[in-house]
Amino acid sequence: MCGIVGYIGKNNAKDVLIEGLKRLEYRGYDSAGIAIVNDQTKKKVSIVKAVGKVAALAEKSQKRALNGSVGIAHTRWATHGKPSVANAHPHSAGRITLVHNGIIENYQELKNILIKKKHIFTSETDSEVVAHLIEQECKKKNFEDAVYATLKQLKGAYALGIINSDEPGKLIAVRNSSPLVLGVGDGEYIFASDPSAIIQHTKDVIYLEDGEVVIATASGYTVKTLTQKIRHRNVQKLEWNDEQAQKEGYAHFMLKEIFEQPHAIADALRGRMEIGEGLARLGGLRSVTDELREIERIIIISCGTSYNAGLVGEYMLEEYAGIPTEVEYASEYRYRKPLIDKHTAVIAISQSGETADTLAAIREAKRKGALTLGIVNAVGSTIARDTDAGVYNHAGPEISVASTKSFTSQLSILVLLTVLLGRQRDMSFTMGKRILTEMKRIPRHIDTIAKQDKKIKKLAQKYKKYDDLFYLGRKYNYPIALEGALKIKEISYVHAEGYAAGEMKHGPIALIDKDLPSIIIAPKDSVYEKTVSGIEEIRARRGKVIVITTKGTKELEKIANDIIEIPKTLEMLMPLLTVVPLQLFAYHFGVARGLDVDQPRNLAKSVTVE
Ligand code: M6R
């Protein structure tokens, strides 16, 4: 996730900005850059950029005379275009220089218009388009009005820090769906994506709201709305220390990332749904549109949590796109003799894009002539580069070893892929529209579930004494049982078994007694009655049962020991909701057992060895 810092005041901006970027490093990035309005020449902005660490940028900056008290800086987590100096921020167009965090959905359309007006672009980014738009508007308007005129044309999410070499004493910052905080110091103002880059200068902050624009000079600041009305915002005191600031007040990155899911899903969907037409648009697959039409079989290869996402995808793709789909552990697939023909698409799902087994498997599939596709979070990663085409999750970096937001964003992409492939085949316009309409509601539904955090924490405390747990689900929620069990294992080091609920009576039910609680995922779906029979069988053997079910399923109150409710949605989208209480349960279970949930023993975030 990109990080922004901006400074205007009395001190050397370079030092403040580089230090700020260092404090934002935890967010993950692949390149960094800084722009300073030169104190002597005033009308000149100096820019330095580097691929890799902030330390590399700091070293490069040492060699340049960057003397000034106004500047902006950025760490880039690539979304549009590979990590490179050209794509790194700040981006300039004439007098305008800016940094951007977020995604401009309509950048291609705007870029085409600007190219016709003779603008020359030097990067592949969506962000550079914003700089050119403001520059274009500045031809007829003053700086502030030009920014406003530009904002009216942008679709998407953005936090922006903008400077203008013609007005060197001014810094404009904007927030719309991407975070931005203003630090109010003594004769100095600092903007940053989160307070960790501000806290060493001042604890007085304003969390900007969507649609707010700040115009700052060294002598003061004004907060305005999108309609240019002045808004009076109260300054609030930060009570956090440095480490808490990075976690934005959450006790652990895992909890922060669970709560970030509504945002991560919205980012995965942004600009990719044409609800009115019932269509999904995945720009990364455009080059293979014709090949996708010819696909007769899909093989999904992945590991761990990404494998569980693939299993949900199998149900979706078969039921709604009508394409036979298999899911394989990458570590197994690479040693098989894969039977592939030119109508087979092999899809690698990977958060890191660097998992050795997944990479080896996708290379093997490619050698055998399959069309290879990637669903990857890390832009520019090896799997993203080695596949024929692919889709990025845009979930931002996931720091906690346990995958949470990457899982639900992978599911979101699989929903879009199902609609895309389905609509190329038999799926009706009405069905496409229905799926996308419901999908759009998922972030709000997750917010509702997250509000039950306290209740789930209590449940985790109640069950923390158990050393074995069963997770059961059917159909779309069978993979969620696997994922719930995986989360408990890795966070709590407790034995947990994920099972297909219908398989219980074929053996595992022998394990059930009062010391083995079961967590059963039983939303009101097409297999609800069957799952309920399973619950009865467990209760009859004195097994304790926690049920995840749809809101208003009263009859379960009589048989379950504990119930967690989720909102109603389409059956195929249920996994996006049912997994959230399981993530929270695993998190609180691990914390209750006194463990380091962000860095569980023996595990690495990215498994780059076989
Ligand atoms: O980066 P990937 O998605 O390829 O990683 C695959 C697994 O190692 C990963 O999903 C792992 O199972 C999770 N971090 C567990 O929470």
- Extract the tokens encoding 44: 């000149």
Helix, strand, coil share (%) of the chain residues, nearest 5: 40, 25, 35
| Ligand 1 atom nearest residue 303's Cα | 6
**Distance in Å, CA 584 to ligand 1 centroid:** 18
359 in ligand 1 pocket by Cβ < 6 Å?
no
| C-alpha distances out from residue 22 to 14, 17, 57, 81, 107, Å | 12, 9, 10, 23, 29
Can you tell me which residue has the tokens 């003061």? Answer: 220
- Extract the tokens encoding 592: 């209750």
582 in ligand 1 pocket by Cβ < 6 Å?
no
Question: Is residue 211 within 8 Å of 225, Cβ to Cβ?
Answer: yes
What is d(CA 135, CA 276) in angstroms, rounded to the nearest whole number?
A: 34
What is the reported pLDDT for 41? 62
What is the reported pLDDT for 339? 86
Last residue of a domain, one of 424, 450, 476: 450
Is the bond leading into 575 cis (omega within 30 degrees of zero)?
Answer: no
Residue at 244 is within a domain: no
Domain CATH number, residue 539: 3.40.50.10490
The answer on 334 and 200 residing in a single domain is no
The answer on 90 and 9 residing in a single domain is yes
The residues, ordered by sequence, that sit 6+ positions from 70 with a Cβ below 8 Å of its Cβ are 7, 8, 13, 36, 37, 163, 168, 169, 170, 171, 218
Take atom 7 of ligand 1 and give the residue whose Cα is closest.
304
Element (H, E) at 496: strand 495-500
607 in ligand 1 pocket by Cβ < 6 Å?
yes
The answer on 198 and 102 residing in a single domain is yes
The answer on 317 and 217 residing in a single domain is no
Active site residue 605: yes
Residue at 248 is within a domain: no
- Extract the tokens encoding 567: 């909102």
The answer on 429 and 352 residing in a single domain is yes
What is d(CA 607, CA 610) in angstroms, rounded to the nearest whole number?
A: 8
Take atom 8 of ligand 1 and give the residue whose Cα is closest.
304
606 in ligand 1 pocket by Cβ < 6 Å?
yes
DSSP state of 321: I
Active site residue 2: yes
Residue at 261 is within a domain: yes
352 in ligand 1 pocket by Cβ < 6 Å?
yes
What is d(CA 395, CA 147) in angstroms, rounded to the nearest whole number?
A: 28
Which stretches of 172-212 are DSSP H helices? none
Domain membership of residue 388 as a residue range:
253-450
Take atom 12 of ligand 1 and give the residue whose Cα is closest.
304
**Distance in Å, CA 608 to ligand 1 centroid:** 11
Which residue of the set 53, 455, 568, 605 is catalytic?
Answer: 605
What is the reported pLDDT for 42? 61
| Number of Cβ atoms within 10 Å of the Cβ of 488 | 25
| Ligand 1 atom nearest residue 407's Cα | 10
10-residue block means of pLDDT along the chain (610 residues)? Answer: 90 94 83 88 84 92 88 89 91 96 91 96 95 97 96 93 94 91 94 88 90 94 95 86 78 95 94 96 95 97 98 98 97 87 94 91 92 90 91 88 97 98 97 98 97 97 96 97 97 95 90 94 94 91 95 89 96 98 98 92 75
3-state SS, one letter per residue, for 52-98: CCHHHHHHHHHCCCCCCCEEEEEEECCCCCCCCCCCCCCEEECCEEE
Which residues pair with residue 371 across a beta bridge? 345
**Distance in Å, CA 217 to ligand 1 centroid:** 46
Residue at 602 is within a domain: no
Which stretches of 221-355 are DSSP H helices? 242-246, 253-259, 261-269, 289-294, 304-316, 330-333
Most ligand 1 atoms within 8 A of CB, residue of 403, 488, 489 to mutate: 403
3-state SS class at 172: strand
What is d(CA 323, CA 294) in angstroms, rounded to the nearest whole number?
A: 11
305 in ligand 1 pocket by Cβ < 6 Å?
yes
What is d(CA 29, CA 399) in angstroms, rounded to the nearest whole number?
A: 12
* Residue of 396, 455, 456 lying closest to 256 (CA atoms): 396
Which strand ranges, in their side-by-side order, compose the sheet holding 468-473?
A: 495-500, 468-473, 518-521, 545-550, 562-566
What is the reported pLDDT for 26? 76
Question: Is residue 295 within 8 Å of 345, Cβ to Cβ?
Answer: yes
The answer on 520 and 390 residing in a single domain is no
Q: What b/e string do you get for 258-290 counting C-beta neighbours within 10 Å, with b at 16 or more?
A: bbbbbbbbbbbbbbbbeeeebbbebebbeebee
Residue 474 exposed, middle or buried by CB count within 10 Å (0-12, 13-18, 19+): buried
Residue at 414 is within a domain: yes
**Distance in Å, CA 352 to ligand 1 centroid:** 8
Last residue of a domain, one of 433, 450, 467: 450
What is the reported pLDDT for 610? 63
410 in ligand 1 pocket by Cβ < 6 Å?
no
The answer on 495 and 354 residing in a single domain is no
Number of domains in the chain: 3
The answer on 575 and 514 residing in a single domain is yes
583 in ligand 1 pocket by Cβ < 6 Å?
no
The answer on 227 and 183 residing in a single domain is yes
Which residues pair with residue 104 across a beta bridge? 156
The answer on 462 and 444 residing in a single domain is no
Residue at 171 is within a domain: yes
Residue at 185 is within a domain: yes
What is d(CA 41, CA 57) in angstroms, rounded to the nearest whole number?
A: 23
CA neighbours within 13 Å on the CB side: how many for 203? 6
**Distance in Å, CA 16 to ligand 1 centroid:** 36
The answer on 152 and 7 residing in a single domain is yes
Residue at 175 is within a domain: yes
The answer on 99 and 196 residing in a single domain is yes
What is d(CA 239, CA 245) in angstroms, rounded to the nearest whole number?
A: 9
How many residues are listed for the chain in this entry?
A: 610
404 in ligand 1 pocket by Cβ < 6 Å?
no
Question: Is residue 159 within 8 Å of 193, Cβ to Cβ?
Answer: yes
| Ligand 1 atom nearest residue 358's Cα | 4
401 in ligand 1 pocket by Cβ < 6 Å?
yes
- Extract the tokens encoding 452: 């039950």
